[in-house]
Amino acid sequence: MELAYSPQEEEFRARLREWLAKALPALPPKPSPDDWPGRRAYDLGWQRTLYDAGYADVHWDASPTTRLIFLEETEKAGAPYVGAGFVGLLHAGPTIAAEGTAGQRARWLPPILRGEEVWCQGFSEPDAGSDLASLRTRARRDGDEYVVSGSKIWTSHAEVADWCELLVRTDGDAPKHRGISWLAMPMDAPGVTVRPLRTLAGSTEFAEVFLDEVRVPVANRVGDENDGWRVTMVTLSFERGTAFVGEVVACRRVLAEIAREARANGRWDDSGVRRRLGRLNAEFRALWRLTQWNVSEGEASGGVPGVGGSVFKLRYSRVRQELYEVAAEVLGVGALDLGRPWVLDRLSSLSYTIAAGTSEIQRNIVGERILGLPKG
């Protein structure tokens, strides 16, 4: 593992910092969290700004270490998050870059990089969330098209998406981890119905998606037919490998803010609070080193993160929840006020041990693929 940065990487960091200092003050005000059309326009506008400045391709054409520096510096500077571009930039895009044909890369990657198209993730189903391979949405081959029927749930950003990275079952007789294919489905295709879901925190970034005889060209399949599970593992390795880099940086900033609030309101006098804050500081420092280790592994393996991403996801999910638990302890009765800082974040943190693969799934991956334990 090599944690040192090269002179070229440090030069990239310095140049990026200088550009961010000039670009961020020129941004328009952020739209309301409930204004999804406004949020889409804001998020895509920021992506276009990155594209014009030459930073848009960092998610695919840059090395994992350069990508790590980009995510670290943009988060430290307070730059906008990828937002509605989350799936396209961090999941579907890297997967297409790694597994797509030259024609597929030419069709789908440039609009994502230019901030022109939004993708959503059609993986989970009502009876196939943690056990993703149990998905039932089926795709029947009809000439040069698949005819897709079924439903998806917890589909991120479906309400504003142009495309969906969709998992479908193309062979119902095959074992459940086989017979799955990865399709790119246009969200304006006839037969697609989107119904937004409201989370505990009041946000609506997820939706149910119903598919009624939706026709998707066979040319939109990424990877071979019935090889979708392997392609999906590439997608999930990106999700668990580098997609949370900015969040770790943000959590370290929030931890410092909580400590300042504790000193201001007297909670710092409680040795238990100080001990929890100190342990969380050590946890996030260790997670950052683990992130660097995963990036180094990705650098050595051609850019695709390995199963170390599951180790990271497993621990990060719990530590993030602990961060906002101690925030509530510092706020006292203020933790019941939805308008106070960190209160909505505490509610949303409850989803982290479920979203992007539950902690139980991560433990299975660690047990089987890292420790070599037999499948139970």
Q: For residue 304, what pLDDT is reported?
A: 60
Q: For residue 117, what pLDDT is reported?
A: 97
Q: For residue 343, what pLDDT is reported?
A: 92
Angle at 149 between CA 139 and CA 128, to 5 degrees: 85
Q: For residue 64, what pLDDT is reported?
A: 80
Q: What is the value of pTM for the model shown?
A: 0.82
102, exposed or middle or buried, with CB in 10 Å at 0-12, 13-18, 19+?
exposed
Q: For residue 239, what pLDDT is reported?
A: 58
For the chain, how far is it from start to end, CA to CA, in angstroms? 32
Q: For residue 16, what pLDDT is reported?
A: 97
Contact predicate 199/182, CB 8 Å: no
pLDDT tens for the chain, residues 1 to 376? 456 789 999 999 999 999 999 999 999 999 987 788 899 999 999 999 999 999 987 877 788 888 889 989 999 999 998 889 989 988 899 889 889 999 999 999 999 999 999 999 999 898 776 678 889 999 999 999 999 999 999 898 898 999 999 999 999 998 888 899 999 999 999 999 999 888 777 777 789 999 999 999 999 999 999 999 999 877 666 655 566 788 899 999 999 999 999 999 999 999 999 999 999 999 999 999 888 888 777 777 665 666 778 888 889 999 999 999 999 999 999 998 888 999 988 988 888 888 777 888 888 888 888 888 887 6
Q: For residue 375, what pLDDT is reported?
A: 76
Q: For residue 27, what pLDDT is reported?
A: 94
CATH architecture, domain 119-226 = Beta Barrel (2.40)
pLDDT digits (tens, 9 = 90+) for 60-116: 778 888 888 998 999 999 999 888 998 998 889 988 988 999 999 999 999 999 999
Has 283 been annotated as catalytic? no
Contact predicate 145/103, CB 8 Å: no
Q: For residue 362, what pLDDT is reported?
A: 84
Q: Give the residue from 176, 121, 122 showing the smallest Cα distance to 149.
A: 122
Give the domain 230-371 fold.
Butyryl-CoA Dehydrogenase, subunit A; domain 3 (1.20.140)
Q: Could you tell me the residue ranges of all domains in the chain?
A: 7-114, 119-226, 230-371
Distance separating alpha carbons of residues 162 and 311, to the nearest angstrom: 33
Number of C-alpha atoms within 13 angstroms, CB side, residue 241? 29
Residue 325 carries which side chain, given as an amino acid letter? E
> Which residues touch 192 (CB under 8 Å, ≥6 apart)?
185, 209, 210, 211, 214
The yes/no answer on whether domain 7-114 falls in CATH 1.25.40.10 is no
Give strand pairing partners of 122.
Answer: 166
Q: What is the CA radius of gyration of the chain?
A: 21
Q: Which of 159, 165, 239, 283 is catalytic?
A: 239
